[in-house]
Amino acid sequence: MVRTGPTGQGWLLPLLVSVVFANTALNLIRPLISYRTIALGGDAVAVGLVTAVYALVPLLIAVSVGRTTDRVSRIGWIIGLGAALLAAGSLLLAGTGGLVSIALASTVVGVGHLLCMVAGQGIIARLSPPEHLDRDFGWFTAAASLGQLAGPLISGGLLADASGPALLQATSTALTVAGVLAALASLAVLPLMAVRAPAHARRDGPAATTREILSRRWMPAALLSSLALLSAVDILTAYLPLIAESQGLSPVLVGVLLSLRAGTSLISRLCLPWLLNRWSRRSLIVASTAVAGLSLALVAVPGIGPVALGSVLAAGGFLFGLGQPLTMAEVATAAPEGARGAALALRMWGNRLGQVAIPAAAAGVAGSAGAPGALLVSAAVLFAASFAAR
């Protein structure tokens, strides 16, 4: 029987298993959406619009979902519902024959993933004892990282060299596999359905307003660090191929370098309990944002060789990996009583907003200063976040 409350952590393993399956499915689906759009005759504009639709509805409902997790006594069903929507969206994508239906199915996928992540973070915030909060968020994000590594590998293996008409059938097959993985994520959380949060962790009175949440000490700094780190990963992924091309480095090497970055991020999350025995959470947040900013600035240095580039990305990736679990724990700790779910959802909302605004600013600079300029913009945001966290 799964124990409830902060003294029993039998709920953690089913949650982590579900996170691995859900994020593997999501990271299998995301590139497949683009490939399927292309297979149905869409161009770069269509891909961009479908990607925007994926993020739009989750952006609008994130905080409301967080408030719901604060109010209800059981959260497991929200994770299961999210995984079920992820599966349904994937299967809808597998049968789509037009760009409008792709956009609608993509929206279902986005909402499903939002429910999984907000409710998953919420259940940790409510059930983990304070001394295990950072560790459990570290394992949660490590499980997500494992899915982020596995999803694209499965996608590439299923698509192989498909092109033209064969690409449509190949994406249908791969999306069906993604739907099965998402369904397994839903089944994995069945043991959590009976888990009740302790009464003190639930909100019974009026909901804390966004202004009240943001007014809490350290909250704005934690939110800024979170969105700065997450958007930096997106910018690095987008502009590293351009940096590499200007230096004559092959796409295969770029893939290796990005995998190296992801791998060291996964390792850092697994090492988090050991690191927290030596340094405080806030010290690690300051260091992770500052050194991640330095690594981006070094990647932008003209003429940096592949060995040096790999070393910089390995070190930067390790620090990138620390930011998300640490800021999750910081936000949950700083939130008003009974508003942890809303605060974590606000963090996710800020992340999504940052993933739009900061790359847009970086793109504007890249137009005149090239890819190094875009990386330097992101590095500047990271340095600002590190200063704020101090």
Query: Residue ranges of the alpha helices (H) in the chain?
Result: 12-39, 44-71, 76-95, 99-127, 133-159, 165-188, 210-214, 219-246, 251-270, 272-278, 281-299, 306-334, 340-389
- 215 vs 359, residue with greater confidence: 215
Return all residues near 149 (Cβ < 8 A) that are at least 6 apart.
Answer: 259, 262, 263, 266
Mean pLDDT of 218-235: 84
Print burial letters for 160-198: b (CB count within 10 Å at least 16), e (below 16): eebeeeebbebbbebbbbbbebbbbbbebbebbeebbbe
Q: What share of the chain has pLDDT > 70, as a percent? A: 90
Backbone angle region of 168, left / alpha / beta, with phi > 0 → left and psi within -120 to 50 → alpha? alpha
Q: How confident is residue 248, by pLDDT bands cut at 50, 70 and 90?
A: confident
Could you read off the pLDDT of 161-178 as tens digits, one per residue? 666 677 778 888 889 999
**What pLDDT is recorded for position 251?**
65
Identify the three-state secondary structure at position 374. Answer: helix
Q: How confident is residue 197, by pLDDT bands cut at 50, 70 and 90?
A: low
Spatial CA neighbour of 299 closest among 284, 314, 318, 321: 314
Q: Cα Rg for the chain, rounded, in angstroms?
A: 20
C-alpha separations of 357 from 59, 96, 106, 324, 367 in Å: 13, 31, 21, 19, 16
**What pLDDT is recorded for position 3?**
41
Mean pLDDT of 210-230: 84
Backbone angle region of 370, left / alpha / beta, with phi > 0 → left and psi within -120 to 50 → alpha? left
- 191 vs 390, residue with greater confidence: 191
Average of per-residue pLDDT values in the chain: 83
Token code pair at residue 347: 């963090």
- 128 vs 367, residue with greater confidence: 128
Residue 254 exposure: Cα atoms within 13 Å on the Cβ side: 16
Angle at 204 between CA 198 and CA 206, to 5 degrees: 145
* Rounded Cα gap, residues 178 and 25, in angstroms: 5
Spatial CA neighbour of 25 closest among 117, 102, 101: 117
* Domains of the chain: residue spans and CATH: 12-199 (1.20.1250.20), 210-389 (1.20.1250.20)
Could you read off the pLDDT of 76-98 as tens digits, one per residue? 899 999 999 999 999 999 888 78
